[in-house]
Each structure stands twice: as structure tokens, then as C-alpha cells.
Amino acid sequence: MTGDIESYNAAQTPDNRAICEALAGLIAAGLPGAAGKVWHGGPVWFLAGNPIVGYWVRKAGVQLLFWSGQSFDVPGLRAEGKFKAADRVYADLGQIDAQEVTRWLARAAVIQWDYGNIVKRKGRLEKLGAW
């Protein structure tokens, strides 16, 4: 985990810090080839320059967001925004199901929409890979 992600996590309340650290650990284990950094105010992990997963502390809890999550064929995520993102909000550490998050991360490694080029394509998303 990078220093800026560690700093982000350390700056949270104890309850939110525990959630953030748990999510960061699951993400690091589930996407070992991903590069993480604080981006748009929260920790985000990228594969080949494409944002895959990130989290942010919100009023309701810690929001775990998958950029391509609406295309996963597993339950537990809700649609977020106008593109293909989906999220889950955790208000308590005990709400995190490590197997569920690991399953989402496995899907995230395979199912990707090309957010890295969304501006160049004027808001049009294209699939990456053959899924």
C-alpha cells in the first residue's frame, strides 16, 4: 500500500479507519498487480491505467466503488452514477464479507469498461478484453 493511501486511512475516525484498512487489505490481496493511489479524494486501484476499485469515507459510511460493477453477475452491489459503476457502503467493520468482496475483485480483474479513455471517446464506454 502506498504512503498516500496509508495517510488517507490514518486520517479517518477509528471506526472508518478499520473499514478502510480492511478494504485496502482485501484489494491488495485480490488485485496484486494493481497500482493504488489517492485519486479524486480517495484510494483508487488501477490496472493498465484503468480505474478498477476505490473507496471513500462518506456520511453514511465507507463507500466501496467498482467502476465496472454493474456488469458483474454477482449480487450485493447497487448501481451508482450514469455509467457502469456500482457500490456498497459499509457503516461498520462487521458488515464486510471478505468472501463477497474477494468475489467482486475477481470479477473486476476480468470485467472492465475502458474508463481510462472515456474523455477521449466523449463519454462513450467500450469493453476491455473478451468477457
DSSP, res 116: G
| Confidence at residue 13, expressed as pLDDT on a 0 to 100 scale | 98
Task: Give the pTM.
Answer: 0.93
Number of domains composing the chain: 1
Average pLDDT over residues 87-106: 98
Backbone φ and ψ for 53, nearest 5 degrees, come out as -150, 150
DSSP, res 96: -
Residue 76 in contact with residue 88, Cβ under 8 Å? Answer: yes
Domain ranges, residue 90: 3-128
| H-type alpha helices, 33-131 | 98-110
| Confidence at residue 131, expressed as pLDDT on a 0 to 100 scale | 79
Average pLDDT over residues 77-106: 96
Instruction: Count Cβ atoms below 10 Å from residue 51 Cβ, excluding itself.
Output: 22
Q: Which CATH number characterizes residue 84's domain?
A: 3.90.1150.200
Q: How far apart are CA 73 and CA 45, in angstroms?
A: 21
